[in-house]
A and B are shown apart, each in its own frame.
Chain A
Amino acid sequence: MTNSLVSPADSPVLACHECDLLQTAPTHATHGVCCSRCGCQLLPGPGYQPATSLALVLAGLLVFILANVFPVVGLEAGGVRTATTLLGTAWQLTQQQMQPVALLILLTGVLLPGLELLCLLYLLLPLSLGRAPRGFAAVMRLVRILHPWGMVEVFLLGVLVSLVKLAHMAAVHPGIGLWSFFALILLLASSASRFDAGLLWERYHACRTSR
């Protein structure tokens, strides 16, 4: 079977991802377009240009490093001081033979969000310079798979809950890591809310044909 028989659909039609209804796309969509049958969002609102997204991702990476290097919370009781980062949390759980939990925290809190940021950097840096990155399709797919597994915002709520739980028994000190996590969440949310995969694909094709 040859693959050339499959062609992209004519541009003004859209299919809903959640109910598969075929509908015509409005010509001038300034806001997001929603499915007329189930209400699912079909087209995102105006997305950021690659250069804008790149700025957010770069800032995100910087804050990500700060958030993982500096302690998130510290504890002081009876002359003993302890402090921890997200990595330290995973390490302590490994020491207690709780590897599955440690791995889950390591993946959802550090590795997968970090990898997603690196993937975005790999896509956005060449695109904003007018070049087409190699393996664009594979990396785009990876970002899509990684995205639901990043749970930095849940971790932040976890920190707040533990602060309250510990405040009864000892003096707790929020660290630089905690403020970095706050900043990281804001940056991740603003870059994700205006992430437009369709726009990136258009840019990619434009960059490839112009070479």
Chain B
Amino acid sequence: MSHLPLKTAARHGMWSCHGCSLLCRLPAGADQAAWHCPRCGAALHRRKPHSLQYAWAYLIAAIICYIPANLLPIMLTDMLSGTQRDTIMSGVVYLWQGGSWPLALVVFIASVLVPLLKILSMLLLLLTVHWRSRWAPRQRTRLYRLLEVVGPWSMLDIYVVGLLVALVQLQSLATIKAGPGAIAFGAVVVLTMLSAMHFDPRLIWDVFEDDDE
């Protein structure tokens, strides 16, 4: 597949507005000025401003939070028999042993697999852009699109913990409390979403144009 004869809008002096998606034609030779969208008034940028810096910052913060999110308990169950501490993984194991393996699979995918793959994919995308890699741009763009779709689904465990905490307040029998792992896990979800939002997939393709010059 040859990408060479194709040209980007930026090469033709046209920038897409980040606010309303309008394609705007800029006056010739005016790359440095602060332009505004004629339709919605938002500031125009060739690419998302400081895309890589923001994406890296959020991603590194997410990686740091990922460790306590998996090690600390997200749920504490007080029962007559004692206190049970559940981490994300032990929650999945509990579901599996309880015989509801389809649900265990759903929780495993949403809470364990998706956050991990999100972090690894963002690392892959950011590193390949830094290395100016020409490898599989179409697939990498598709990976990015997938990241945006699956992003919110790892919130699943946060909602489950919240619901159990609100429902299981049976003083004599059992009470459930949220553990510190839930805060860290929520932070991972939000930070990976922010990282993906700030990443500009057009940077994957820019290397093909820059090298032609």
Q: Which residues of A contact B (CB under 8 A)?
A: 1, 3, 5-10, 13-15, 17-22, 37-40, 72-75, 77-78, 80, 82-84, 88-93, 96, 98, 100-102, 104-105, 108-109, 137, 140-141, 144, 148-149, 151, 154-155, 157-162, 164-166, 168-170, 197-198, 201
Contacts and interface: CB of A to CB of B under 8 A. Distances in A.
B20 interface: yes
Interface of B: 3, 6-12, 14, 16, 19-27, 30, 33-42, 44, 95, 98, 100, 103, 106-107, 110, 137-138, 141-142, 144-145, 148, 151-153, 155-174, 177-178, 182-183, 186-187, 190, 193, 197, 201-202, 204-206
A154 B156 contact: yes
B137 A19 contact: yes
Contacts of A151: 152, 155
Contact of A197 (B21, B142, B165): B21
Given A21-B9, A104-B190, A201-B20, A159 B202 contact: no
Contacts of B138: 37-39
Given A154-B156, A201-B22, 7 more contacts: A6-B26, A19-B137, A38-B205, A84-B163, A96-B178, A104-B155, A148-B197
Contacts of B155: 104, 108, 151, 154-155, 158
A81 to B, nearest CB: 9
A82 B169 contact: yes
A26 B186 CA distance: 44
Given A1-B33, A148-B151, A157-B156, A93 B40 contact: no
Nearest to A154: B155
Contacts of B206: 20
A154 B183 contact: no
Given A101-B158, A148-B152, A22 B14 contact: yes
Which of B11, B37, B160, B182 has its CB near the most chain A CB atoms (within 10 A)? B160
A123 B178 CA distance: 39
A100 B178 CA distance: 11
Nearest to B149: A148
Nearest to B139: A38
Nearest to B1: A37
Contact of B165 (A96, A164, A201): A96
Contacts of B169: 82, 92
B137 A18 contact: no
A101 to B, nearest CB: 5
A162 B40 contact: no
B205 A84 contact: no
Contact of A19 (B106, B153, B201): B201
B178 to A, nearest CB: 5
A15 B3 contact: no
Which of A73, A159, A165, A201 has its CB near the most chain B CB atoms (within 10 A)? A165
B167 A162 contact: yes
23 contacts: A6-B25, A6-B26, A6-B44, A15-B8, A15-B9, A15-B23, A19-B202, A21-B205, A22-B8, A37-B138, A38-B138, A39-B142, A75-B167, A82-B168, A89-B166, A93-B162, A98-B165, A101-B183, A105-B159, A108-B155, A157-B106, A161-B107, A165-B160
